[in-house]
A and B are shown apart, each in its own frame.
Chain A
Amino acid sequence: MKKYLLLPFLLVVFGAAGVLNSCKKDADSQPTVGTVSLELANMVGTQPLALDGTAYSTASGETFTVSTLKYYISNITFAKADGSTYAAPGEYHLIDASKSASTNFTVSKVPTGDYTGVSFVVGVDSTTTKGDPLALSGDLNPANAMYWAWATGHIFLKLEGTVTSASPNKALVCHIGGYRQPYSALVTAAPSFKGSTLQVRSGTTPKIRLSADVLKIFDGPTRFTLSSFPTTMMPSAASVQVAQNYAAGMFAVAGVQAN
């Protein structure tokens, strides 16, 4: 009898030990990793963005002010010269021009090596945005006012302000989101390193300095005048055009620093 009782007991104990052991093994088998810092400078053309009522001009001479600029950067992928990539899991960062701390963040556990490019989704992938609401905390928290309660999903980019060259002044309301065809606004930006190399080593924190130019939201594959720039608060053909604009040209690499 005794030995029959002992066997299942041992099976359970070893089963549990096996689970613990496999976790440990995973950690051991990780390649050497480093941390990458990303820094965003929100700009309007060559001027730093201020939310204090400063009026900015477009190339065609229209003027506007900005009161809100917020956007998500997620699914960050680093590429090497040989074409191989590393996609950093679980990175969702809300950049809010009114919160300077939000414009700096780090991506840890990037395998060491020399990277020649970076890409990221401007927005939140559909799996996460539709996922378990009880996990929506931190930058993904619907309380950050970057969320469409009526259509379950995050707003990817929010630009608000006033077109001051319009008479009377016109509200600038640009809320871009939506992950469903035909009007999916999920876009990827891949600003060029322009020949620089991001050297990821354990023990150092290289930095990618990015600039984000608000003017490129209006001007890219589709050129909008501010007087006719559509008010967008739901997915539409225009919101996809705006998303394609900011994917194409809003983000530029201002520098890659070794440490």
Chain B
Amino acid sequence: MRATHLLRTLRQPLAHWRLAALLALGGVVVASASCSKVASLELAVPGTEQPANFPAMVYNLAKNPPSAAAFELGKALFYDKRLSHDGTVSCGSCHQVAAAFAQPGFRFSPGVGGRPGARNAPALQNLRWRRSFMADGGVLGLELQALAPLTDAHEMSMPLADALARLNADTNYQQHFAAVYGPGKIDTPQFLRALAQFTASLTSANSRYDKYVRHEAGGEFTAQEVSGLAVFKAKCGGCHATDLFTDESFRNNGLDRTFARDSGRAHITSWPTDRGRFRVPSLRNVAATGPYMHDGRFATLAQVLAHYNHGVQPSATLDPLLRQPDGQLGITLTAQEQAGLLTFLNTLTDQAFLTDNRLGPPH
């Protein structure tokens, strides 16, 4: 079929241009494929596909094309405690696969010397769809994100130069980096690129909810889950939008009246209008990522719903969606609605992701 079509095309007078463009394009595709070897290795790296129900990916895969070798290198770095000042904390200490890479049981995860961090360790998932990072949006790229916990005195407390020196002094890393990025010193770009190979791969898109919306096997919802989803869309979807369950905005959800301890987005922008605003988190795997809120103040999802129902505090920057026309604050949720919401939120748990051995600590 194709060959006949090509012949027919060739016989048409103005077709040379199209063919020339096609040939040139073919050349480019062949050249780029042979450079990066994406085609052959992509399948070995988890989470490289675009889930059908997700918005378009933000991260430019072409800048850091997934490869199995780079993914394994990134995973080794993610789980390496030697990247902390005293060798006691790795990225994986506070970001555990079974909790969608949050840390269960800790409001503030302990960093080096047991020092507690300033905010609750967030889940790490679907980072390729994020424009900015951290609860205050201060970090503007997935690669750069790793620098914050690495260098923070309450987390890994490791100056970047020292981390690079440790890697350069390690024969295994020397060989591993050389195999992926070519010979030479391990420097910032290679280090950040490798770590991002792992963090970018953490894709959760196979919860029962995903199967339900994609009409796949295993995507059956009970009547209560269906009604819970309807309540969710009506009352929560204004912020927890799209199938990523966040609109990526920064909002004050009424936790406090003052923000002396943590001003949130204002810490980055310095604008008083940003005080108390924090990133709307994704709710994927939410049943596994407690405790909740930027400071982990709520241990259970029931407490979170109770907050929205009757705990919202007034302040100048409180989100307008939490001010009802009659002046009442929060989101009115009947007991039945709360029960429905809880059953629905449990459908966002992606067991295949939480138990993916490829993402867990290397043995």
Segment with Cβ contacts to B, from A50-58, A95-103, A149-157:
A149-157
Q: Provided the pairs A133-B144, A143-B161 are in contact, do residues A152 and B139 lie with their beta carbons within 8 angstroms?
A: yes
Is A134 interfacial (CB-CB < 8 Å)?
yes
Scan B128-155; emit 1 where CB is below 8 A from any A CB, else 0.
0000001000111101100110111000
Question: With A149-B148, A149-B152 in contact, is A143–B188 under 8 Å at CB?
Answer: yes
In the complex, what residues of A have CB within 8 A of residue B27's CB? 12
Chain A, residues 122-163, CB within 8 Å of chain B (1/0): the string is 000000001011111100011111010111100000000000
CB pair A12–B147 under 8 Å, yes or no, is: no
Neighbouring A residues of B140 by C-beta, 8 Å = 130, 152
Find the residue from B27, B144, B267 having the highest chain A CB count within 10 A: B144
- Taking a contact as CB atoms under 8 Å apart, the answer to whether A11 and B141 are in contact is no
Given A8-B19, A152-B141, the answer on whether A134 and B148 have CB atoms closer than 8 Å is no
CA distance in complex: A152, B151 (Å): 13
What does the 1/0 interface line of B236-269 toward A look like (CB < 8 Å)?
0000000000000000000000000000000111
What residues of chain B lie closer than 8 Å to A144, measured between beta carbons?
A: 161
Residue of B nearest to A236 (CB): B270
Q: How far is the CA of A149 from the CA of B151 in the complex (A)?
A: 7
Most buried by A among B20, B64, B152, B271: B20
Given contacts A149-B144, A150-B134, is CB(A133)–CB(B192) below 8 Å? yes
Q: Is the CB of A150 within 8 A of B188?
A: no
Residue in B10, B138, B152, B164 whose CB lies within 8 Å of A152: B138
Q: Which residues of B contact A130 (CB under 8 A)?
A: 140
**A4 touching B10, Cβ below 8 Å:** yes
State which of B19, B161, B164, B189 has its C-beta within 8 Å of the C-beta of A136: B189
List, in ascending order, chain A residues with CB within 8 A of B268's CB. 151, 180
Contacts of A141 in B (CB 8 A): 187-188
CB of B160 closer than 8 Å to a CB of A: yes
Number of interface residues of A (CB under 8 A): 32
B145 to chain A, nearest CB (A): 9
Asked if A150 meets B139 with Cβ closer than 8 Å, knowing A135-B189, A142-B147, A235-B270, the reply is: yes
Partner of A134, one of B17, B20, B143, B164: B143
For the complex formed, measure the closest distance between the CB of A10 and the CB atoms of chain B, giving whole angstroms. 9
Contact status A7-B20, CB under 8 Å: yes
Whether A12 contacts B148 by the Cβ 8 Å rule is no
Most chain A Cβ neighbours within 10 Å, of B17, B63, B134, B160: B160
CB of B208 closer than 8 Å to a CB of A: no
Across-interface contacts of B143 in A (CB, < 8 A): 133-134
Q: How far, in Å, is B83 (CB) from chain A's closest CB? A: 14
Q: Which residues of B contact A7 (CB under 8 A)?
A: 16, 20
Contact with A8, one of B11, B20, B63, B267 (Cβ below 8 angstroms): B20
- Contact-size category for B: 35 or more
Q: Does A1 contact B (CB under 8 A)?
A: yes
Contacts of A137 in B (CB 8 A): 187-189
A105 at the interface (CB under 8 A from B): no
Query: Counting CB contacts under 8 A, is B113 at the interface?
Result: no
Identify B24's interface contact among A5, A12, A180, A182, CB under 8 A.
A12
CA A185 to CA B340, docked complex, whole Å:
51
- Does B193 sit at the interface, judged by CB under 8 A? yes
A15 at the interface (CB under 8 A from B): yes
| In the assembled complex, B178 has its CB within 8 A of some CB on chain A | no
- Indicate if the CB atoms of B139 and A149 lie closer than 8 Å: yes
A145 touches B16 (CB 8 A): no
Contacts known (A1-B10, A134-B143); A142 close to B24, Cβ less than 8 A = no
Q: A145-B159, A150-B148 are in contact. Are A8 and B189 (CB under 8 A)?
A: no
Among B10, B11, B152, B270, point to the contact of A183 (Cβ < 8 A).
B270
**A9 contacts across to B, CB distance below 8 A:** 23
Within the complex, which residue of A5, A15, A142, A180 is in contact with B188, where a contact is CB–CB below 8 Å?
A: A142
Q: How far is the CA of A7 from the CA of B19 in the complex (A)?
A: 10
Which single residue of chain B is at the shortest CB-CB distance from A132?
B63
B269 near A180 with CB under 8 A, answer yes
Do residues B164 and A143 form an inter-chain contact, with CB atoms below 8 A?
yes
Q: Give the complex CA separation of A149 and B146 in angstroms.
A: 8
Q: Measuring CB to CB, which residues of chain B are less than 8 angstroms from any residue of chain A?
A: 10-11, 16-17, 19-20, 23-24, 27, 63-64, 134, 138-141, 143-144, 147-148, 150-152, 159-161, 164, 187-189, 192-193, 267-271
What are 25 A-B pairs with beta-carbon distances under 8 A? A4-B11, A4-B16, A7-B20, A11-B17, A11-B20, A15-B20, A132-B63, A133-B144, A133-B188, A134-B193, A137-B187, A137-B188, A141-B188, A142-B147, A144-B161, A145-B160, A145-B161, A147-B160, A149-B147, A150-B134, A150-B139, A151-B138, A152-B144, A180-B270, A235-B270
Please name the 9 residue pairs, one residue from A and one from B, whose CB atoms are nearest each other, closest first: A149-B147, A8-B20, A11-B20, A152-B140, A143-B160, A143-B161, A149-B148, A151-B138, A134-B189
* Besides A11-B16, A143-B160, 19 other A-B contacts (C-beta < 8 A): A1-B10, A8-B19, A8-B20, A9-B23, A11-B20, A133-B144, A134-B192, A136-B188, A142-B188, A143-B164, A143-B187, A147-B160, A150-B134, A150-B139, A150-B152, A151-B138, A152-B144, A183-B270, A234-B267
